[in-house]
Amino acid sequence: MDSAAINSFIPTLDQVDSWYEIFTLLPILIALELLLSADNAVALASLTKSLDSSDLRSRALNIGITISLLFRIILIILSNVLLKFIFIRVFAGLYLLYLFFSNVFFNSDIETTENGTDNNNKNNFRFLRVVALLSITDFAFSIDSITTAVAISDQYILIIFGAVIGVLALRFTSGIFLKLLDIFSRLETAGYVAILIVGIKLLLNTLIKESILPDYYFYFLILFAFIWGFSKKESKT
């Protein structure tokens, strides 16, 4: 649901007479983005769980989300061309499904060796892999909302403005969920369930003209996944 808030605000923003009026809406817009970026944030935080330290996780989030913002801006600017290709949306949906199944059912941690060089190489590879996954995953999450935004308004500056606010809100909420992952044992899996739900929603909206389920059904499913994710704390030893 990341960047969804800007979609509902675009008709209002198109009618404002000055930047002053836009800035009066900013607190509401930022608050909505913080709320609506939760599913994306916990998914991205879950992807960093394989990194060894909180510092590496934070750095990976900073780099991955920044790269994703560049992807978003390119997609917005070239939306008239790129969004005509259905395979981009299908690929994004299938990628999210792959991410869920590969991490929930087929995930296996690679043991590090005692050799310092090999260990460093593996850590560097893991870090770069996580950054790439973060970038692509956040981009896939944003495709649906960007498609909706450019359909509502041709004010690309405002849409990019909304994307930047969404990314800042996402980084803030991701930092919170990084800490919560160490407290709630089911939250990581709930993050991947959110990825699965968004992937299914993206594929259905792309491949089927008549929507089978309203969007709010998917949002309720994500909410239930979050409730389950917060239902069990890590046992203290």
Residue 157 confidence class, pLDDT cut points 50, 70, 90: confident
11, exposed or middle or buried, with CB in 10 Å at 0-12, 13-18, 19+? exposed
Better pLDDT: 54 or 83: 54
Looking at residue 233, the DSSP 8-state letter turns out to be B
What digits encode the pLDDT tens for the residues 181-233? 888 888 889 889 988 998 898 888 888 866 667 777 888 888 899 899 998 88
- The rounded percent of the chain whose pLDDT value lies above 70 is 71
Q: Please give the C-alpha separations between residue 127 and each of 50, 97, 144, 180, in angstroms, as whole numbers.
A: 9, 22, 28, 21
pLDDT band at 72 (very low <50, low <70, confident <90, very high): confident
Distance of alpha carbon 91 from alpha carbon 104, whole angstroms: 20
Rounded to an integer, what distance in angstroms lies between the CA atom of residue 129 and that of residue 12? 40
Q: Which of 28-37, 117-126, 159-168, 226-235 has the least mean pLDDT?
A: 28-37
Q: Is the sign of the CA dihedral 88, 61, 101, 33 positive or negative?
A: negative
Report angle CA 66, 124, 181 to the nearest 5 degrees.
Answer: 65
- Structural domain spans, the chain: 4-229
Q: 33 pLDDT band (50/70/90 cuts)?
A: low
- The yes-or-no verdict on residue 174 having pLDDT over 60 is yes
